[in-house]
Structure 1
């Protein structure tokens, strides 16, 4: 049975994680190493169902039949499940199933809006593929499905997705980058503004503009320079009382999770979909019993995608 090498095994002492063999079988670490909770976050999936299955299997969230196997863990997906590929229906139906299965097991699935969810609700179809349209049975049936009042998909997204989320007080998750002005409004206010705007068909409301949390790229691209970007990140952390910010939206270089400012900002859009290179990675946050968190990037060890290597991505 494949084993973690000595270096990685030493790095995992005192963490609650599972490791698993190339057949996908999970093995718990010794009881002395276990802690209470694990959070896994994955970025943009863009209608690539096979890659969605692969990254969830990599992170030990699902089994070989795409069923929840993660117990009381939390899965957070930061939006953009749609566009650029043919697998839209399959991905959203998968999340419908996993949300139910996770809840029954004591776990949780949290879904966030990406700009592409907002675009599709608003009828902006510029990135929709012909295969995607065909999977719905044509353009009109697709439009009906995305209706947030009457459509199965639109209702699912509207009733279950949010713009931003803080997990257990320590980590902010949003699709795109947060701006201090939006952070100052608070999480609940942002989510309410977004839902109200969608319900009232205000698809160009301020929260959906370029500095809003579904479009902003300023932090990931360090547009203000390295030092100023880190200062902005610290400001947002102080406003919201969190330790780190996690975003998707901006594809990182080299298929690796982007870590800025000593891990205070983590960009998790690594280009999972084959449209962007088919790079598999997930973010893993271990919540330790002393109230601290240990954060790793999960990458595939080999082409089976069922055996993960963990790399540290922050130093706080």
Structure 2
């Protein structure tokens, strides 16, 4: 067998030397170029560990092309502190005792699958009250809502529920819209009274339902129902040497949450409406919910009167009800108010600005006043009325409201930290069984450092 061809040793050594020099020059240039990029992006700061993170420019380009923002989650860019944030909210109006139609709505709007289980496609599902009356599925609907509440929590989502005027009517003993066939699903009148006072449904109302909801669209503002204006501590200011008041560091964020660029990036949900002349509006929604909880407790714990009109005597509110509790249940209160639906456009579009300012929100979403054809939007989507007569008792249209919110960083090494620029977008759609209608698509640029809060939605 022939041996391999002999090699020229001196020639091989020369080639090795040349390759080493070329490799060294390439490495030196690459290191210099890479260091330039390290300096270029050295201002990007991680919000949790407060350290500098260096990102190669090629990684940023790659991640910008490949990264997708998943619903309800913050996605980083190239491992940096900059995160795109997304939140998806679906809300539904009056259901009035109709489980089959409710199931259809929650299914085609993506809240549940065909079996009625939480789908994981939304971050928040909000129902604005009046689940009870005008139909026979009271027990089935409230049981389903409680099951969805647990499934949502397990999947990282949240169900938020409001009480409507019909829930309070039943707690009072005003059963004018209760069908005899529905009473039979409970067994007896007394069994129904027990169920909605100290029984399973009544306990869920007390624990899981509020009169109104404030839902921040970004977790930077805190969890659902964080009060607005923000709660402040006892000591607000310290005196500087020249006698002027200087903000303590602990209050900088509080002021940002009250007047900063994201301060009003939230939605309000209520059954009837937040009247511009209602006296207990702020702090929102804390004050209203405290009054509602107090009134509900008094109604549920009193000796249950014979319901009206089975008994011709109307029970009314308890004697112990306060003036604020009477105002809550009045026609100008959040359970019954219809002004946003009926007042002229020029009036409501002026009035709504003050209410939004005082509640720290940008839209008011409510049910109660039905339009049997479509979801009603007024004042460029600042007022949205979502009761479309879903129950077969009305024969309206099946509908839901969808809100997609995103906050996406604008990659700019010259504007980082407190000067970081973001693109904010909010897309609001009325969702019907066969089509969707765009209510609002608003985009703006905001500047600031918005730390992502973990698990604030639950």
Q: In which range does the TM-score fall when normalised by the shorter chain?
A: 0.7 to 0.9
Q: Which of residues 112, 116, 120 in structure 1 aligns to 2:170?
A: 120
Deviation track 1:47-83 (CA, whole Å, cap 9, x = no partner) reads 0011111100011111111111125521000000000
Tell me if 1:44 matches 2:170.
no
Q: Which of residues 140, 152, 156 in structure 1 aligns to 2:204?
A: 156
Question: Which secondary structure state, in structure 2, belongs to the residue aligned with residue 276 of structure 1?
Answer: coil
Tell me if 1:287 matches 2:405.
yes
Alpha-carbon distance in structure 2 between the residues aligned to 1:220 and 1:38: 26
Query: Would the aligned equivalents of 1:41 and 1:75 in 2 still touch at CA under 8 Å?
Result: yes
Query: Would the aligned equivalents of 1:176 and 1:249 in 2 still touch at CA under 8 Å?
Result: yes
Residues 214 and 99 (structure 1), Cα distance of their counterparts in 2 relative to 1, 3 Å cut: same
Tell me if 1:66 matches 2:116.
yes
Query: Would the aligned equivalents of 1:72 and 1:106 in 2 still touch at CA under 8 Å?
Result: no
Q: Determine the structure 2 residue equivalent to 1:195.
A: 293
Query: Would the aligned equivalents of 1:119 and 1:125 in 2 still touch at CA under 8 Å?
Result: yes
Stretches of structure 1 that go unaligned for 5 or more consecutive residues are 1-13, 18-31, 302-308
Query: Would the aligned equivalents of 1:170 and 1:243 in 2 still touch at CA under 8 Å?
Result: yes
Deviation track 1:83-140 (CA, whole Å, cap 9, x = no partner) reads 0001101000000100000000000000001000111111111100011100001111
Tell me if 1:298 matches 2:431.
yes
Q: Which of residues 105, 114, 119 in structure 2 aligns to 1:55?
A: 105
Question: Which secondary structure state, in structure 2, belongs to the residue aligned with residue 219 of structure 1?
Answer: helix
Q: Which of residues 377, 395, 415 in structure 2 aligns to 1:277?
A: 395
Query: Would the aligned equivalents of 1:86 and 1:129 in 2 still touch at CA under 8 Å?
Result: yes
Query: Would the aligned equivalents of 1:264 and 1:314 in 2 still touch at CA under 8 Å?
Result: no
Alpha-carbon distance in structure 2 between the residues aligned to 1:177 and 1:296: 20
- TM-score norm. by structure 2 comes to 0.58
Runs of 4+ residues deviating >4 angstroms: 14-17
Question: Which secondary structure state, in structure 2, belongs to the residue aligned with residue 292 of structure 1?
Answer: strand
Q: Determine the structure 2 residue equivalent to 1:263.
A: 381
What are the within-5 Å matches in structure 2 for residues 17-166 of structure 1? 36-71=86-121, 73-147=123-197, 150-166=198-214
Question: Which secondary structure state, in structure 2, belongs to the residue aligned with residue 314 of structure 1?
Answer: strand
Alpha-carbon distance in structure 1 between the residues aligned to 2:154 and 2:101: 25
Query: Would the aligned equivalents of 1:71 and 1:106 in 2 still touch at CA under 8 Å?
Result: no
Bigger relative contact order (CA 8 A; separation at least 6): 1
What are the within-5 Å matches in structure 2 for residues 238-257 of structure 1? 238-254=357-373, 256-257=374-375
- TM-score norm. by structure 1 comes to 0.83
Q: Determine the structure 1 residue equivalent to 2:269.
A: 173
Q: Determine the structure 1 residue equivalent to 2:417.
A: none
- Could you tell me how far 1:184 is from its partner in structure 2? 3.7
Alpha-carbon distance in structure 2 between the residues aligned to 1:229 and 1:76: 24
- Could you tell me how far 1:35 is from its partner in structure 2? 5.7
Query: Would the aligned equivalents of 1:111 and 1:161 in 2 still touch at CA under 8 Å?
Result: yes
Question: Which secondary structure state, in structure 1, belongs to the residue aligned with residue 342 of structure 2?
Answer: coil
- Could you tell me how far 1:15 is from its partner in structure 2? 8.8
Query: Would the aligned equivalents of 2:427 and 2:441 in 1 still touch at CA under 8 Å?
Result: no
Quick check: 226-235 or 178-187, which moved more?
Answer: 178-187
Q: Which of residues 354, 357, 361 in structure 2 aligns to 1:235?
A: 354
Bigger Rg, structure 1 or 2: 2
Deviation track 1:139-162 (CA, whole Å, cap 9, x = no partner) reads 111011011xx2111111111100
- Could you tell me how far 1:208 is from its partner in structure 2? 1.0
- Could you tell me how far 1:183 is from its partner in structure 2? 2.6
Alpha-carbon distance in structure 1 between the residues aligned to 2:180 and 2:119: 34
Q: Determine the structure 1 residue equivalent to 2:312.
A: none
- Could you tell me how far 1:259 is from its partner in structure 2? 0.4
Q: Determine the structure 2 residue equivalent to 1:314.
A: 440
